[in-house]
Amino acid sequence: MTALLEVKDLRLAFGGVKAVDGLSFDVGESEIVSVIGPNGAGKTSAFNCITGFYRPSGGRITIGGADVTRMRTSAIAARGVSRTFQNVRLFGDLPVLDNVRAGTHLWLRQHVFDALLHTPRYRRSEQQATDEAHRWLDFVGLRGDRTGAARNLPYGEQRRVEIARALARRPRLLLLDEPAAGLNHGEKLELLDLIRRIRGLGIGIVLIEHDMGLVMEVSERVVVLNFGREIADGTPEQVRRDPAVIEAYLGSDEDDEVPGGRGPTGAAGEETARADA
């Protein structure tokens, strides 16, 4: 069976810095795969390559068997890829509902003539977009006001709106970049349930997350990066016991003795050079 997403030997360099160095993994339909690693490991850079924000230095990315490595962001989105961002990116001054309606533009069929004259076809499509937006806001469990400006919502609710907008694009593959960042314990439990319900729709999910409790609970497979290189790929239990993963997160005895070693302290020194969160 063809993988929904297949990444082969992905490489990305910024000058002499290798942000991603030979990453390979795949994601099937209704599968949840987490990509983890210390700060500066190359996780968000890999996301940016998959979605077309960055052009890889090497390697191949396929969506449903089609090579999208050199495609524009819009073309990749049209193939069923949607994402959220590490820092929430909503249209802050627009109403919550309009933020999610914006996600329908990929599949909503409107013509300039209809929009200018507000024809019955235009009014039907606008109502369809509104109904779809409400449906996804219901799905993510938004409890706040949908008519007020998005910036006025609490941070956790803004996260929900961003996920609803991504889902309104009707994706086959959803990339979530640190969706639990800034959430309290109760909100993280709700997020865990939401991710599982999204998977239940048949959508493949790739998750970047620093909350290891959430990662180990929700993931079917975990890919681990360190300094741009893949050091592990397996089930949560396999990754949890992998010596290379333990060293990447906790460091080794030698790292404690050598400034700038490969533990978290050394990784932080590289972080500013990698354009990656």
Beta-bridge partners for 224: 36, 232
- The mean pLDDT value for 201-219 works out to 95
Residues 61-82 pLDDT 10s? 999 999 999 999 999 999 999 9
Return the H-helix or E-strand segment holding 250: helix 243-250
Task: Please say if the pLDDT value at position 91 is more than 70.
Answer: yes
Q: Give the CA distances from residue 113 to residues 117, 121, 240, in Å, rounded to whole numbers and listed in that order.
A: 6, 10, 58
Q: Decide: 129 and 104 in contact? Cβ < 8 Å.
A: yes
Beta-bridge partners for 67: 62
Amino acid at 203: I
With a pLDDT cut of 90, the percent of the chain lying above it is 74
Least confident of 39-43, 186-190, 220-224: 39-43
Provide the residue count of the chain.
Answer: 277
Q: Decide: 11 and 58 in contact? Cβ < 8 Å.
A: yes
Q: Decide: 173 and 4 in contact? Cβ < 8 Å.
A: yes
Domains (ranges, CATH) in the chain?
5-80+171-271 (3.40.50.300), 90-157 (no CATH)
Q: Decide: 36 and 224 in contact? Cβ < 8 Å.
A: yes
Sheet of 17-27: strand order equals 17-27, 5-14, 58-63, 66-67
Work out the mean pLDDT of the chain and round it to a whole number: 87
- pTM equals 0.84
Beta-bridge partners for 45: none
Q: What sign does the CA torsion over 4, 63, 168, 148 have?
A: positive
- The mean pLDDT value for 51-60 works out to 95
pLDDT of residue 100: 97
With a pLDDT cut of 70, the percent of the chain lying above it is 89
Residues 97-114 pLDDT 10s? 999 999 998 777 767 777
Dist CA 195 CA 219 (whole Å): 10
DSSP conformational letter for 39 = T
- The mean pLDDT value for 14-28 works out to 93
